Structure 1
């Protein structure tokens, strides 16, 4: 992996402050870029200090998107750093999800806004009788871009439950730091907000795109941004998983918090194991939501009988969304392999072709599965009882069709709104008419 200077800025728009918040022009899917430096960051102990160090050094621009921001020790430190940056003239844009960060106080948000932070809330809504109701189509991405030259992408939110001292419910998770040409695309994506680039629309364009993917050389340091939205990029993350699995020859390791993919992705996982690839799944054994484990276990029989190795991580809740294939392909990001991430939420992953990075990720996941996981037995898995088969069948199909059913519910189109406007609109919704 190539070392790049922290000072290198590759985004021309930084030279003109007037261009900082203008949406970039539309483009096709983001491609692969070589000669990047990629560093794996495991858990909050590695992630928060590094992100905060880079925020302190910011000179021109900070772009930050996160699903969850809490008013805890992590959130308060981020809050202070963003205000400090804005007050010294850095252009700061923060995008928060209206559900995941829905419990932030007005004072906490107003302090940032008053300091000059451009604060945006995705689909804000006030609770009804204390219950948040805006469950679907969430902004689930976790992206930070500083000065157009350093980017962070992964699954770690800005909350103290990603630190080991939080206790038994501290989350196990991953992110990456990227420096190099790929940051231009991540910066472009973070600036674009609601105006996402268009995807290759016709089948022959998509076919050419897949051929380019398969024809990649094996040079290290290659990075590509891939994302999911609810317009023309609905299946992109699932498609790159399927393509990588189809080309697997030696091994596959997937560590995912909420595992309940559709038939096509399940079939590629099973087919890889059938042709002799070592396939290892690391899933939740101590979940933060019990339904996550129950749903995943509905699939165990189908996968175990064809040679897939399944491990449940039992030390603490698994929140990671990472995978690797063979020696030089891996992905890190925000997307789970479940109906919410694959069919409803706004997600972002990076794909990485780098042997040193993939070796490091494999080393960490291999240690995790051997030291802190329980292997699910291929024989003796619960099967055969009519009631269990019936419940499994019903749960599987309910969860798989859930995104389509949720789309039938009457709802407004989710929007990214400036902080002040978001407050005004949510208040007006609850005024008596």
Structure 2
């Protein structure tokens, strides 16, 4: 086995780890104790469903040939014609599809039917994500975002983060607010889990960004070094940017803010990792950290109940990182394009904005159609009684912390088990 193949196997495993267990821990810690198992289950089941769907038609739709929106779903059906040596590339792209779908789950915490989620995931993957991956990553002449528009997106600012963020917002609007929100203080139940999840996400993201290097005539070592360093520095800058804004707005710099800053920085540098230099990476990270820290509060002003701030972090962070390529990119980067700051004019910035608009419109329209179809057939939301009692017990018959099983003959999810979490944080100060 050559060194590049060995590296890509490791990178693929790192990206899969970003969903299970990293994202599951990150989201699970931010939910209430009566919802943590359901929250983690949404990530695990997304991995199982999307992985199989990707092998069946996803790779073919994304990478089997030309097409403005997607390639032929059946040309490489079940990887027919893809040699076993090509499976590494398939598995790598599969992990991107998995985490994109799983990201959406944080917005609908506490209230979406598990059965509705199980149906939504494969439908959304086939109709929304697989085509978006073609538009962004295949870079054929006809592919809309990368080819026709010419927008740069190194590892998924549009296809992954904007795509998931828009879908999250649509589902939130269709589901409605959680019972008692925003009056009740729905605090994170275990910030230790969240901090652990954030650290694992940061670690796994090196597979996400550095693994996206495209082998060609360029110096692959130099490009990998650039993406590795940019990913690191942007994340560090985002932590500081988030904590600064949080301190100004809320009076305290919190551990949840630091964890959220990690994710905001990683999201923003994802599309720009190969395009910018070190100073550009720091600028993008700091801007994204500050803007996302401010943006998570918009749900209180606008009234949409995005449970774990998927919109404020992934949609906003994805837009910030994608658009800022048009300002901070350099001709020495992977795209070979100078941005506005380096004398390139407004051409690249225009391309980046157009790419964002296409991603928002495509995901928004199609997710709305899918969500409405499920809402008026199967139904999207659990009952108010089940929501108040706890979605873990209602949907899975389990409790994450069955501390008092003996007092009720071992019944999972007792009233005492589902008591309010002890963390003293105000809802207005909580971010995801």
TM-score range, shorter chain: under 0.3
* Larger proportion of helix: 2
In the superposition, the TM-score normalised over structure 2's length comes to 0.27
Larger RCO: 1 or 2 (CA < 8 Å, sep 6+): 2
In the superposition, the TM-score normalised over structure 1's length comes to 0.26
* Larger proportion of strand: 1
